[in-house]
Chains A and B, each alone.
Chain A
Amino acid sequence: MIFLWAFVVGGVICAIGQIVMDAFRLNQGQVMVALVVAGAVQDGVGLYDPLIKFAGAGASVPITSFGNSLVHGALAEAQAHGWIGILTGIFEVTSAGISAAIVFAFLAAVVAKPRG
């Protein structure tokens, strides 16, 4: 059943992104930022974790999950170390994803033609 919900929830998040892009004539960067912020806000009010529990990868793979992770790390560190944790915690959970993006971008640039 979780596969079905993963498919539905992940698809709905992507569909919202496409509709926002078409309806408001936004470019890809703007839609991406909007989805990240939406994920961050949802985690701030405690909605995103239940969504991941419900839909698994359907909620954790789309870019909204990145916003969720940013807030998640910041709040966790803030609880452990006080206010400074908001700054140190932002990349706590997301560091693996960011590092992976840098490493794989480098590897792709080695074998592909990054300058066109």
Chain B
Amino acid sequence: MPRIGRHTWKFEHPAYVVSTGTVAGSTESQGPLGGTFDVRIQDDYYGQSSWERAEQKLFEHAVKIAMDKGHCSDAAVDLCIGGDLNAQLTGFFFGLRPFHIPSLGVYSACATITEALAIAAMALDSGFAETVLAGSSSHNGSAERQFRFPTEYGVQKPPSAQRTVTGAGAILLSRKPTQAIRITHATIGEVVDMGVKSPWEMGAAMAPAAFHTIENHLTESGFTLSDFDCIATGDLGKIGHAMVREMLDDAAIPTDSRLTDCGVLIYDFNQPEVFSGGSGGACCSLVTFGHLLNQLASGLWTRLLVCATGALLSTVTVGQSESIPGICHAVVFERV
């Protein structure tokens, strides 16, 4: 049975990682993981006339790289699942215009990538698809417009704020067990709302969701912390990372250096305006596909838990003084 708990699926036919494609923005390229991305762009407009078009191009390019590296044409891809932070998922859908692939847009804010990976693995496990693409994108400029319009105010951000990552990551998954890295489990998160209202404190808003998903995963999968070489949350930043560490310690799940955060890894904190760290739909996909999976591929690690985190706010809900619910979905990657 694939379902081993209320939140956790174990795949009978794991999804094998064929290839990945990563395109990183200028600030991300200058960060400590810059060397692990396939394409490092210098101009965040990426030769386009607007940030939105740039983001569509980023996603299109990431998909193309993943397919090229996997020696696969769009005709051979049965399904593409993904999303972004723009209203109506325009980054994802418009980025797919040049391809002919059956496509599903999904949204869990910055947790979109693990939601897409879970559904992709489910589609492969069920046999509805042989080859699936999953991916997500975000762009600092388009996210500022989407969530903090009008940007013309030029509001100073507090240190607890986070920088939306510019970039896109795509992954090609297959049912054929020809590759070394596979997705074996997925844990679907619940919406957790602890009443945080400030959009400048998204790490704090998302940390409880990350804690719940990690706790549910460990309880239901039977894994312990020592079964993992790394547990990476998506984009909690420095503040949210410290909070989830404290919550896990309080719950007698003591963490060590195994617990990390993609939003902390992607930037050097000496870089300008990175605040508490990275966020955005591309934060977790860039770090996972660029850096974390490399550690599995090189044999350094054998099992990795990726827990992308999403803050489910919109400009309307913030304007109406609603609190910010968080969500976190997790997937397990392991080397065979």
Contact surface of A with B, Cβ cutoff 8 Å: 25, 27-28, 115-116
Contacts and interface: CB of A to CB of B under 8 A. Distances in A.
Given A115-B50, A116-B51, A116-B141, A28 B197 contact: no
A27 B321 CA distance: 10
B50 A25 contact: no
B155 interface: yes
B87 to A, nearest CB: 14
Given A27-B319, A28-B153, A28-B155, A116 B197 contact: no
16 contacts: A25-B197, A25-B198, A25-B321, A27-B318, A27-B319, A28-B153, A28-B155, A115-B49, A115-B50, A116-B50, A116-B51, A116-B52, A116-B141, A116-B142, A116-B145, A116-B151
Nearest to B52: A116
A33 B60 CA distance: 43
Contacts of B145: 116
Interface residues of B, number: 15
Contacts of B318: 27
By Cβ-Cβ distance, the 4 closest A-B pairs, closest first, are A28-B153, A116-B51, A116-B50, A115-B50
A115 B155 CA distance: 19
A116 B153 CA distance: 14
Contacts of A25: 197-198, 321
Interface string B120-164: 000000000000000000000110010000010101000000000
Contacts of B198: 25
Interface in B181-203: 197-198
Nearest to B141: A116
A105 to B, nearest CB: 10
B85 to A, nearest CB: 15
Contacts of A28: 153, 155
Contacts of A115: 49-50
A116 B145 CA distance: 8
A28 to B, nearest CB: 5
A104 to B, nearest CB: 13
A116 B321 CA distance: 27
Most buried by B among A25, A27, A115, A116: A116
A85 B159 CA distance: 49
Contacts of B321: 25
A111 B141 CA distance: 19
Nearest to A22: B158
Nearest to A32: B153
Nearest to B151: A116
Nearest to A26: B321
B139 to A, nearest CB: 10
A100 B294 CA distance: 57
B229 to A, nearest CB: 41
